[in-house]
Every structure is written in structure tokens, then in C-alpha cells.
Amino acid sequence: MAKMIGLARVGRDAELRSLPNGDAVINVALAFSWGKKGQDGNRPTQWVEGAMFGKRAEQLAPYILKGNQVVAYLSDIRIETYEGKNGAGSKLVGRLDDIELTDRKDAPQAQRPTPQPARQAPPKPAPAPAKQGGFEDMDDDIPFSDPMKSRAFCMAVQ
């Protein structure tokens, strides 16, 4: 079974529908970037259409909006052929097992979590006297950059 995990952009708002048995299903167009930037400054894009089923699909539908960045977990990846206006075509599709929202700036206002008042940090205890030759004088707040903000990743497993 082919699986794929990757950082993608949502190509269009999720479409929530119901199957004949009443189960919810959403279809999500996902754009995965890969490879090196071309002369136009853009990286190639692989489009994948994912389908998610059940209660989780129903709950996530309002949050999966065009342009949002997500981490997608897909399985049962396959190429489907279809007959369109311009003749026969093919597309890459898969079952969307899970999706993580990495930015939620466009979530519907009614569904956004209420902002909590900022908490004040407790006062730091007085520093202990420094010992010779140790690391006690080093600050614990070493900044690390978030690798998800600067790099896209995609992993396919078969």
C-alpha cells in the first residue's frame, strides 16, 4: 500500500458531502511542492486529491480552506483516469487518513477558539552562586528556529 506524508497547501475549500449511508466525506485538493526552484522562482507542484470520511471529516471541513498550509497523511495513493471536456486525463488521488492544520488564520469566526487572556510568567528564582567550570551561567532560553516554516517536506512510503 502506498502512503504519503507531506506539507501542502490547500487548493480549494473542502467540499463536505454525505454518502448514501449518511457518512460525511470531504474532498481536498492538496498542492505539494518538490524539487528545485525553476527560472521563474517557483518549485514544481504535485497535486493530489484526498478524500476523508466520517465524523472527523465533518468537524474539519470548516477549517480546511484554500491557501492554508497543512500536513497531510494519505494512504491508498493511486492514479485515476477520467474523461473530461478536453478528453481523457489522469489525476493522483488517495485516502486522507489525517490532516494537521499548521495555520488557522482563515478559520470561520464562529468556530475560532476564544482568545485567552495572557498569563503572566511566575517570577524567576534568584540565581544560585556560580560554580567554577560548569554550565550554570548559561541561559536556558536558547532560540531554535521552526524547521516547518522554512522547508517543505514530502515522504512517500511503499
Report the alpha-carbon distance of residue 30 to residue 47 in Å, rounded.
6
Q: Which of 56, 5, 24, 49 is nearest to 158 (CA)?
A: 5
Tell me: the pLDDT tens digits for 70-122? 999 999 999 999 888 888 888 899 999 999 988 755 555 444 444 455 555 56
Cell, residue 39: 527560472
Domains of the chain: 1-106+154-158 (2.40.50.140)
pTM, entire model: 0.62
> Over 36-99, what HEC string results?
CCCCCCCCCEEEEEEEEECHHHHHHHHHCCCCCEEEEEEEEEEEEEEEECCEEEEEEEEEEEEE
Tell me: the pLDDT tens digits for 130-158? 555 544 544 444 444 444 444 445 555 55
